[in-house]
Amino acid sequence: MSLQASRNISRFWEWGRKIICVGRNYADHAKELKNAIPKEPVLFLKPPTAYVREGSPILVPLYTTNLHHEVELGVVIGKGGTAIPQSAAMEHVAGYALCLDMTARDIQDECKSKGLPWTMAKAFNTSCPVSEFIPKERIPDPGKVSLWLKVNDQLRQSGCTSQMIFSVPYLISYISDFITLEEGDLILTGTPKGVSAVQEHDELQAGIEDIVTMSFTVDRQDH
Ligand SMILES: O=C(O)/C=C/C(=O)CC(=O)C(=O)O
Ligand SMILES: [Mg+2]
């Protein structure tokens, strides 16, 4: 069997595809970080080496003292395309995943103050923990699902995708106008309020309603 034929979208994190992240897509989160409500989606990228799966720890990079969790709905692209109209956007979705956009907030603040890109704050190894693949049929409306995240059993984030400023179809259309979407790409759709710092040995649990849950521990990087 060829490599291509053996690839399965339910293991999208093994495909080496793009992770496109949307920032400030929830007004309550934009406000908690004292950012203006965006008029257009704010985008950044993570490399596929950012993926981490349950059973492996989230590693705190040596250069940060303020690593934040951000729980987000991930959209897995099943059919690629360029300049996809909003009306056809959902045909390009294979399914979803629960994702964390781990963020070195102190480094991000420094980058912002110097006008530099956020790569060091957002794209490091293990900065994108992901759940199992959720087939599209299990989330009939991605604009109406609740997400939550607990640290050591304490609820820190609880939000609904109905609070998103830019909807999933809008984001697919917007992004595909200038970044061609490919099968296996993942779009992180932004986080609701409640982001906060995690420490070594913390236990993170997150979920989407009764659809999926996932757990990760936090470790310090050792070199
Ligand atoms: O502008 C900031 O201070 C921070 C923005 C983010 O980290 C954006 C996100 O990743 C998000 O809203 O999910
Ligand atoms: Mg985020």
* Domain made up of 11-220: CATH architecture: Alpha-Beta Complex (3.90)
Confidence of residue 3 (pLDDT cuts 50, 70, 90): low
* pTM, two decimal places: 0.96
Asked whether the predicted pLDDT for residue 7 surpasses 90, the reply is: no
Please write the tens of the pLDDT for every residue from 94-123.
999 999 999 999 999 999 999 999 999 999
Distance, CA of 191 to CA of 108 (rounded, Å): 16
Mean pLDDT score, 62-76: 98
Distance, CA of 126 to CA of 19 (rounded, Å): 13
Between the CA of 28 and the centroid of ligand 2 the distance, in Å, is 13
CB 70 near ligand 1, within 6 Å: yes
Does the ipTM surpass 0.90? yes
pLDDT of res. 100: 98
Between the CA of 140 and the centroid of ligand 2 the distance, in Å, is 23
Mean pLDDT score, 36-57: 97
Calculate the CA 34 to chain-centre distance: 21
Report how far apart, in Å, the C-alpha atoms of 98 and of each of 32, 88, 172 are: 22, 23, 18
pLDDT of res. 76: 98
Distance, CA of 46 to CA of 65 (rounded, Å): 20
CB 163 near ligand 1, within 6 Å: no
Is 77 within 8 Å of 187 (Cβ atoms)?
yes
| Cα Rg, the chain, nearest whole Å | 16
pLDDT of res. 4: 54
Asked whether the predicted pLDDT for residue 2 surpasses 80, the reply is: no
CB 103 near ligand 1, within 6 Å: yes
Q: What is the mean pLDDT of the chain?
A: 96
CB 191 near ligand 1, within 6 Å: yes
* Number of neighbouring beta carbons within 10 Å of residue 128: 28
The share of the chain scoring above pLDDT 70, in percent, equals 97
Report how far apart, in Å, the C-alpha atoms of 69 and of each of 6, 89, 130 are: 33, 28, 13
Between the CA of 87 and the centroid of ligand 2 the distance, in Å, is 26
Mean pLDDT score, 24-33: 94
User: Quick one: which ligand is closest to 38's CA?
Assistant: 1
The share of the chain scoring above pLDDT 90, in percent, equals 96
Please write the tens of the pLDDT for every residue from 123-153.
999 999 999 999 999 999 999 999 999 999 9
Paired sense of beta strands 19-23 and 186-188, if any:
parallel
Between the CA of 47 and the centroid of ligand 2 the distance, in Å, is 14
Flag the least confident range among 6-10, 48-52, 168-172, 193-197: 6-10
